[in-house]
Amino acid sequence: MKNAKNDISVRWLYLVLGVVALLFGGVIYAWSILKAPLGDAFGWTNSELAVNFTLTMCFFCLGGFAGGMVNKKLGSRVTLIISAAVSGLGFVLASRLTGGLAMLYISYGVLAGFGIGIAYNVIIGTVSAWFPDKKGLCSGALLMGFGASALIIGKAASAIIDGPGWSTAYLVIGLALAAVLVVTALILRLPEPGTKFPEPKKKASGGGENFEARDYTTSQMVRRVSFWLAFLCIVCLSAVGNTVISFARDLSLSIGASASLATTLVGVLSVCNGLGRIATGALFDKLGRKKTMIFANILTICAAGVTLVSVLVHSLPLGVLGLCATGFSYGTGPTISSAFTSAFYGTKYFPLNFSIMNFNLMGASFMATAASTLLESSGAYIAPFILLLALAVVSLVLDLAIKKP
């Protein structure tokens, strides 16, 4: 048996590998960049393209759920190779589009979204197993990689679109994503049973809840009012960022940004998304669940409000501020989902409970489609942002109603 002390240093390699893999996987958040040439090439409307983003997020959630199940039976290596094949095939097929919306939905929305969802679940679960003493650092780094993708991979894709063209960009992304996931599959593994890790530092509880902690099964969890209040709260909370990500580039152009700046702002929004995930974890440790969620609600209201004002007065500086705040607020969602599920329903059944809670992204993506339909019918961003501002307020009301499991 290996000496555990000599073996755990490899976890830093796995963390770097996980960040790189999720950096490529996070390309689904660069949709506002990748969709730009498709409307011109095939005459598709914004609402038709918004449906694709909704499908992508839905199948991303389904892929995460399936990934957890397959990983238990086949292990991370086989599961990641499956994710590489499915997501890579999705982008390759998307690169061969000839005008049919159905093929876009199947290739990018279903296959790419599902494959990336599988990889997301497996990579986070496997890498996190190596960092029981540094959970915040590990999850923050991984989620930052996923969130920063639109800036790095999105910028690269934009350069290819401006050069060889959109078809080449989709093909290169698909092949690169598949290659990175295969390499990750061949290297990444779980720690051996009995591996000894440093003891985590004990932290003072920043915000206790008035209930006795216990472990709830998934069926017990979904029968509780607190679950549905939190679920709907996070749906409304995430709807703002999810919607803005889907048309961030076009929004930036509408308030006076150049094409280059608009592409950069999509990436900045994505980076703020990553920073929001890290900061929210730290706030949970210091302030507790209740104060952190209220902070996220208020930030989201401000983000939607500022962006609405930027559209009304056609202000690029306010638009940049609104996009940054939106990215940060959207980043609070995944951390809140994870921390809330663990705090309210325990750790024993956490993997399955969290995969169920994570379906809130589906609800948020349908809200994004509704907002895009409003944009299409009204011809302006005012109506969509009034809807998003209302959803942010509803999220706060739902949050305040949460009392105990």
Tokens 């809330």 belong to: 340
Asked if 104 and 97 touch (Cβ cutoff 8 Å), the reply is yes
Q: What is the pLDDT of residue 201?
A: 61
Task: Kindly give the residue spans of alpha helices, DSSP state H, lying in 35-165.
Answer: 36-42, 46-94, 101-104, 113-128, 135-147, 149-162
Shortest CA distance to 372 belongs to which of 246, 218, 206, 219?
Answer: 246
Tell which wins on pLDDT, 43 or 144. 43
pLDDT above 90 for 300:
yes
Interior angle at CA 280, CA 274 and CA 284, nearest 5: 155
Q: What is the pLDDT of residue 334?
A: 81
pLDDT above 60 for 297:
yes
Which of 52-61, 230-239, 271-280, 347-356 has the weakest average pLDDT?
347-356
- For residue 378, what are the CA distances in angstroms to 81, 93, 146, 254? 44, 33, 33, 14
pLDDT single digits (tens) 309-321: 999 999 999 999 9
DSSP 314: T
Q: What is the pLDDT of residue 102?
A: 92
148 class by beta-carbon count within 10 Å (0-12 exposed, 13-18 middle, 19+ buried): buried
pLDDT (mean) for 297-310: 95
Q: What is the pLDDT of residue 155?
A: 84
pLDDT (mean) for 331-345: 83
The answer to pTM > 0.75 is: yes
2 band by pLDDT with thresholds 50, 70 and 90: very low
Tell which wins on pLDDT, 208 or 87. 87
Which of 52-66, 83-97, 189-203 has the weakest average pLDDT?
189-203
Q: What is the pLDDT of residue 209?
A: 62
Q: What is the pLDDT of residue 363?
A: 84
Structure tokens at 352: 């399955």
pLDDT (mean) for 164-188: 96
2 class by beta-carbon count within 10 Å (0-12 exposed, 13-18 middle, 19+ buried): exposed
Axis-axis angle for helices 166-187, 11-25 (nearest 10) = 160
Interior angle at CA 363, CA 360 and CA 368, nearest 5: 125
Domains and CATH numbers, the chain: 1-202 (1.20.1250.20), 211-405 (1.20.1250.20)
Radius of gyration of the chain (CA): 20
Q: What is the pLDDT of residue 104?
A: 94
pLDDT single digits (tens) 253-295: 999 999 889 888 887 887 888 788 888 877 876 787 889 899 9
Q: What is the pLDDT of residue 3?
A: 46
- Residue 163 three-state SS: coil
Tell which wins on pLDDT, 248 or 338. 248
144 band by pLDDT with thresholds 50, 70 and 90: confident
Please state, in angstroms and rounded to a whole number, the distance separating the CA atoms of residues 235 and 400.
Answer: 15
pLDDT single digits (tens) 184-238: 999 999 888 877 877 766 554 444 566 667 889 889 999 999 999 999 999 999 9
Q: Which of 115-124, 126-135, 370-379 has the highest mean pLDDT?
A: 115-124
Mean pLDDT of the chain: 86
